[in-house]
Amino acid sequence: MILRFLAVAAAALAFAAPASACAHPRTSLTYLEGQIMCPTCHTTLDQSNSPAAQAIERFISQKIAACWTAQRIESALVSNYGAQILAAPPRKGFDLLAWWLPIAGVLAGAVVLAVGVWRWSRRREPEPEAATEQELDEETERRLDDLLARFD
Amino acid sequence: MTGRLKITAQVLALAGVAGLLALLVWKLAHQEHAPGVGAAAPAFTLHRLDGPGRVTLASLRGRPVVLNFWASWCEPCKSEAAVLERDWTRYHARGVVFLGIDYHDLRPDARSFVRHHALTFPMLEDGSGQVTGTYGISQVPETYVLNRQGKVVAHLAGPITDPSFAGEFRSALAEAARLKGGTPSAPQAAAP
């Protein structure tokens, strides 16, 4: 009975080991395929079927099986191919510009648009008090008073 | 105030357009093309794939050089490997240097390819493809034969086993090995 229990426990451990061997959640090939470029076709791996892309996919699969994190796999690929293997530039150094410039561009565009709209709306707004003061000279005011007096 | 703001905006817009135009011109001016026959081969320094150290093309001036661009994932490169090894063995004694340049490849795969095909000529790695780009390589295998002055004698954009390239490769190799245009420098290609 004890022997049978030990055998079942050993078998369960043997099957469970590959899935639970990693100390962290495994990354996936699907995720990394969208993060890594095919060096010969300049698209992400998920859009390429070239031999170079397939070689990288094999490498990624091996490393996922060996419990490598996505970051570690990306670092290994960068050291082999250079930073251009990443679909998105790293968030440090000069490459930060690639992240901040679009945001700066959108903000600058928003500011220009806001200023433009504000100026346009100001130009179209009537200025009743000033207009009244300008339009009603003494003669008109007197005639208006006369007319209003008739209704009293 | 309004006029000044308008002029500033126009100047900024013009500066933006000028910047974009400058980028376009720079890109067009720096586009890489394959060096033609008679042109100087682009200089490079690359890490060795088969050991420590680096190799500089300039250090081989005075010797004919065969540059073979390949990758482990390239099918025609497999059939070409044996022919290259045989020619390297034949021409090595006559001062010809063969350099294999591994292109857009994973190091372990490339080393396994070299072992599998028992290639003994020096192998360099160009994982980023930066040097390969200066030679206008768009597909592998491609082979350049350089004379002792470092000028291109032949450019074969395909496997040298291809009948259309085999004859040209042999004659370019024979010519480069026969003609002596100066004192050969020390064989530093194999040195780490």
pLDDT in tens, A70-119: 999 999 999 999 999 999 887 777 777 888 888 998 998 999 899 888 88
Please, which pLDDT band fits residue A132 given cuts at 50, 70 and 90? low
Q: Which two tokens stand for residue A37?
A: 């470029």
A84 and A111 inside one domain? no
A37 and A63 inside one domain? yes
What is the predicted ipTM? 0.75
A71 and A98 inside one domain? no
pLDDT at residue A10 in the model: 58
Looking at every residue in chain B, the average pLDDT score rounds to 88
Using the predicted structure, report yes or no on whether residue A42 has a pLDDT greater than 50: yes
Q: How far is B92 from chain A (nearest CA, A)?
A: 30
Q: Which two tokens stand for residue B110?
A: 């490339």
Q: Which of B2, B74, B127 has its CB closest to that of A81? A: B127
Buried b (16+ CB within 10 A) or exposed e, A98-135: eeeeeeeeeeeeeeeeeeeeeeeeeeeeeeeeeeeeee
Q: Which of A88, A105, A128 is the last residue of a domain?
A: A88
A138 and A117 inside one domain? yes
Using the predicted structure, report yes or no on whether residue B188 has a pLDDT greater than 50: no
Domain for residue A2, yes or no? Answer: no
pLDDT at residue A125 in the model: 66
pLDDT digit string, tens, across residues B31-87: 778 899 999 999 999 999 988 999 999 999 999 999 999 999 999 999 999 999 999
Quick check: A51 and B104 CB within 8 A?
no
pLDDT at residue A129 in the model: 60
Cα angle, residue B120 at apex, residues A78 and B155 outer, rounded to 5°: 75
Q: Does B75 touch chain A (CB under 8 A)?
A: yes
Domain for residue A98, yes or no? Answer: yes
pLDDT digit string, tens, across residues B162-187: 888 888 998 898 888 776 544 444 33
Using the predicted structure, report yes or no on whether residue A35 has a pLDDT greater than 70: yes
A110 and A75 inside one domain? no
Domain for residue A144, yes or no? Answer: yes
pLDDT at residue B189 in the model: 42
Contacts of A39 in chain B (CB under 8 A): 104, 129
Mutation target among A62, A75, A80, A119 for the B interface, most CBs of B within 10 A: A80
End-to-end CA distance of chain A: 116
- Work out how many domains chain A is built from and give that number: 2
Residue A69 belongs to domain spanning: 26-88
A99 and A83 inside one domain? no
Give the A window 21-60 contacts with B, CB below 8 Å: 39-40, 51-52, 54-56, 59
